[in-house]
Structure 1
Amino acid sequence: MGDSEWLAILGSAEIMKDAYTSPPDQSECRLHYFQIDEREASVTFGFETSRLPSKAPADWRLTAYNTVEFYVKFTGVKQLRVSGWDFTIRDAEVSLTRLGDEGLSASLASEGVHISFVAARVLIPRVRSYLAGQE
């Protein structure tokens, strides 16, 4: 997804605005979670980043952390297409395009996996910090 779309989505979420002066670029985030929920007609992407916030929430400052995890939830999903399913989805390229008043078009693509859909809305329902193991 273009950096401007990415930053617009992250920058519109209150918790991200409160924590970051400038949200992390897409290149600083790794996809670690993907869920399709047919009951809610939603798709959720989970990302993690080691780019720490400049204005961490008070409860985050109480414990050590080196990673921030956040979820991007797309609702009102339609035209969902899934081709292939593999662990390479974690290395997928994420693309997002605004469709004006129609919502947005999203896709994930990696070797052997391609997922695309149109969504009416996007929100960030969860952000948390934690201490990831050192490699």
Structure 2
Amino acid sequence: MGDSDWTLIVDSAGTFTDAYARPPRLNECELFYVQIDERDASVTLGFETSVLPSSPPPAWTGLTHNAVEFYLRFMRVKELRIAGWDSSARDAVVTLDRCDDESVRVSVDGERSHLDFAASAPLLTRTRPFLRSDAS
């Protein structure tokens, strides 16, 4: 499935797909946040995009923004592997693939950064508009 159909894999992505006629592909977004929480066996990935929704939520009305950030949280993480991590991760290729056992395989591949794991119950946990000062 890869990054183009990520909204079909992620639970609670309905609010995102309601706002976007065509949600941005993960690889059109910048990965700006990675949190690995060993207590909850979870990984949270944060993305930024300058692709604005065609039908923004009513709560965004009147807000000045030129970018959107959203967070994907993966629960019950197993088989976590990290091989190098640096600033190249911001431009990494991120893929989500559904496995036969209904888990999700997540891969983050940058020039000198690699992270992959299996997880279940991926969730879209937060979406918010913001004004990015360096947007072109």
1:55/1:126 Cα in 2 relative to 1: closer, same or farther (>3 Å)?
Answer: same
Structure 2 gap ranges (5+): none
The count of aligned residue pairs is 135
Structure 1 gap ranges (5+): none
Give the residue type in structure 1 aligned to 2:51: R
Which moved further from structure 2: 82-91 or 63-72? 82-91
Do 2:3 and 2:26's aligned partners in 1 also have CA atoms closer than 8 Å? yes
Which moved further from structure 2: 40-49 or 86-95? 86-95
Q: Deviations over 1:52-84 (max 9, x none)?
A: 111111221122111010011111101111111
Aligned to 2:65: 65
Aligned to 1:133: 133
After TM superposition, what 4+ stretches of structure 1 lie above 6 angstroms from structure 2?
none
Q: Distance in 1 between matches of 2:95 and 2:104?
A: 10
1:110 aligns with 2:110: yes
Aligned to 2:20: 20
TM-score (norm 1): 0.88
TM-score (norm 2): 0.87
Identity, in percent, stands at: 49
Compare the two structures and name the one with the higher helix fraction.
1
